[in-house]
Structure 1
Amino acid sequence: MPPVYVSHIEYACGSELVTNEDLKRLNPDWNIELIAHKTGVLSRHFCAPNELPSDLAYKAATKLMAQANIPPESIDAVIFCTQSPDYVMPPNASLLHARLGLPKTTAVFDFTLACSGFIYGLAMAQSWIQSMGFRRVMLVTGDAYSKYIHPRDRSARALFGDAVAVSILEPSPLSSSGIVDIDLYSDGTGGPSFMIKAGGLRNPRSQTTCLPIRDITGNERTDEHIAMDGRAVLEFAKREIPPCTQKILTDNRVR
């Protein structure tokens, strides 16, 4: 079974560059210097009003395919990970399939994850290549969180930007080069720490879900916006990520 590797990668960012100075001018009560010190983020790209991750994916994919001389008919599958789809249905992968002019033999589907999306996508692409004989899989990962963040929510507005990465995975030409190992984990109990409460079937949008809410730290949002418990997310990462990292290093005898 040949190893799988990332042969090409390209990206596209939202067209609007928003600096910390821009945020401070719009929100003079925010301590932007403290936020920058804690996060290290000095600027971020936001999508324009009519710009979506599917547009960024098309931009990045066409650039990658042109530069790497990858013909549309050589793409066996498109996997699109996003929490910012154009529509409830059809999936973004189908929309991108049509825009790129890919053949009907190309398998496509969406899945929705946040930080772990790229790793899960690698695992699925690797599995398809090794078990189904695919030669070239396009993995698209990206979001436009700015569409879901309240302008007065400094915990999220100052942190997240909008971008898409397009990766091509193929069988490695070298038996000693490629994806070494992948571990997948989940902890569904942390869902409430990063959540949009309204807009789905469980809690549809209504006259009350659009009402502004101010939390104890002064962040403002509605139930239709991202609500992030930054402290809980940070503590989770500090508690859970190091042992997972150590395990995969130990399993593969890497010091």
Structure 2
Amino acid sequence: MALLPDLARSPALREFTYWMHRYRRTWRGTVVVNVANPLLFLAAMGVGLGRLVDDGGSDHLHGATYLAFFAPGLLAAAAMQNAFLDSAGPVFQSARQRGNYRAAAATPMRPADILTGHLLFTGFRVLTSALAFVVVIVATGAVPWRHSLLLLPAALLTGLAFAAPVAAWAVTVTRSTRINGVFRFVLLPMYMFSGTFYSTTQLPDWLRAVVSVTPLYQGIQLCRELALGTAAPLDSGVHVLYLAAMATAGLLLGRRTYTRHLYG
């Protein structure tokens, strides 16, 4: 029990508490982007378009309905989007001269604590949005509840694989247009071509090779295999190791960039 007071006084948790305090005042404005948009997209594409796909039949779905195929892909893509939105613009604004990072850096809190606390908050946001999504897809029958139990950690890992590297980069950004550019020319192409809407086996070989090394593809494959009950230990292990390596590399790089730019 003595560990609990020490944990509560952790500098990283103090930073997390700051972001949660802000979130209490802004959460209503994020519901549409983080929860409602993916659910509406699920209804339009998974249910609406899915009926046409199911009627026509497709060997690329391997016997699954389009909704069951599409839902876990959208879950991973939503985790990517939510992680980017919470770790790009907010980090950029916080690192500016009058941002809250500057105030935190003037205290005994280390840059690594600031980064870790912000990533804890981003993970919380990804996890709660994923929970709402998973509840809906289980309720619709797209995914059996017994297959849904591992979807939450898979979505969280996918989100952190983006959040940590993006935060490490965003703290160095001096113009917001660069963040918009990355969203348009990096995230959106991944969203479209990494298998969210269709099997990547339909892509040309050269494009499929490029797509297969992206973190979103790894997250989609992990979530889809878990949802459909087709996960194999070796394949799933590769996806988990890839995503964990991305998150770890982002965390290590972020410690350096946060130190350089907050104390520079």
TM-score norm. by structure 1 comes to: 0.32
TM-score norm. by structure 2 comes to: 0.31
Higher relative CO (Cα under 8 Å, sequence separation at least 6) belongs to 2
Which structure is higher in helix share? 2
